[in-house]
Amino acid sequence: MARTFLKVFNFTQLCSAIFFNTNTMALKQKSPKESFVTMTEMVLPNDTNPLHNLMGGRMMHLIDIAGAISAQRHSQRIVVTASVDNISFHHPIKLGSVITLEARVTRAFNSSMEVYVEVYAEDLSIDSKILTNKAFLTFVAIDQAGNPIHVPGLVPETEDEKKLYESALRRRQLRLILAGRMKPDEATELKSLFEDLK
Ligand SMILES: CC(C)(COP(=O)(O)OP(=O)(O)OC[C@H]1O[C@@H](n2cnc3c(N)ncnc32)[C@H](O)[C@@H]1OP(=O)(O)O)[C@@H](O)C(=O)NCCC(=O)NCCS
């Protein structure tokens, strides 16, 4: 009985290993520019609070959409938002302003992708453009049954892309700890940050 179980278990493991490898091997790696998204919107009355500034929730909605399109471009799959890291609001954005969101995948893991979104606000009447928000989001590619599915790897090209790629592993570990999905002890990248202080 034990031997049969062992055989079945090994066979299952072998099948999943073969599936994993062929699935991963078949996926061509991509560059961040292939998933770059730019989205421009005008702040309309329905988007604003009583002070006539863009509402935070509306901004988060737009960030989520730009990020999802970027992750979908990278993976060519349906994606769901798994998490959104801290979003700070540094400047109010006035009614009538033009906002531009720029999104790109910074790193792909197994089924998840980290996407970085920047938001710029432009007041066309005084010709000013400022960076108002930055956010990191994680999207997971899923199949028709809603199960996570492998995504292509990402190969950074520019210096900025390489920095974002390197630091993505630390951000991933931090967010997985905060989500209760990783034990702090397992966060090797985060621990290495403090090794010099020992
Ligand atoms: C996101 C979701 C698909 C993960 O499913 P799961 O069964 O927990 O799958 P897994 O544990 O295998 O995790 C899959 C991936 O998600 C990542 N993930 C899961 N929760 C996460 C979180 N809170 N933050 C960041 N990444 C997360 C895992 O690290 C893993 O990444 P990897 O495959 O690259 O290693 C599932 O939780 C879900 O469907 N959530 C609801 C999503 C949703 O409705 N979003 C809003 C509307 S789009």
In the chain, domain spans: 28-156
Answer yes or no: is the C-beta of 75 below 6 A from any ligand 1 atom.
no
Mean pLDDT of the chain: 88
- Measured by CA distance, the residue closest to atom 27 of ligand 1 is 82
- Measured by CA distance, the residue closest to atom 20 of ligand 1 is 82
Type of residue numbered 95: L
Region 28-156: CATH code: 3.10.129.10
Q: Are 41 and 102 in contact (CB under 8 A)?
A: no
Query: What's the confidence (pLDDT) of residue 88?
Result: 85
Answer yes or no: is the C-beta of 16 below 6 A from any ligand 1 atom.
no
Q: Closest by alpha carbon to 122, among 111, 109, 132, 113?
A: 132
Q: Are 79 and 69 in contact (CB under 8 A)?
A: no
Give the pLDDT band of residue 27 (cuts 50, 70, 90): confident
Answer yes or no: is the C-beta of 142 below 6 A from any ligand 1 atom.
yes
Q: Closest by alpha carbon to 78, among 126, 118, 113?
A: 113
Query: What's the confidence (pLDDT) of residue 4?
Result: 45
Q: Are 133 and 88 in contact (CB under 8 A)?
A: yes
126: pLDDT strictly greater than 70: yes
Instruction: Give percent of the chain above pLDDT 70.
Output: 85
Segment 92-110 mean pLDDT: 97
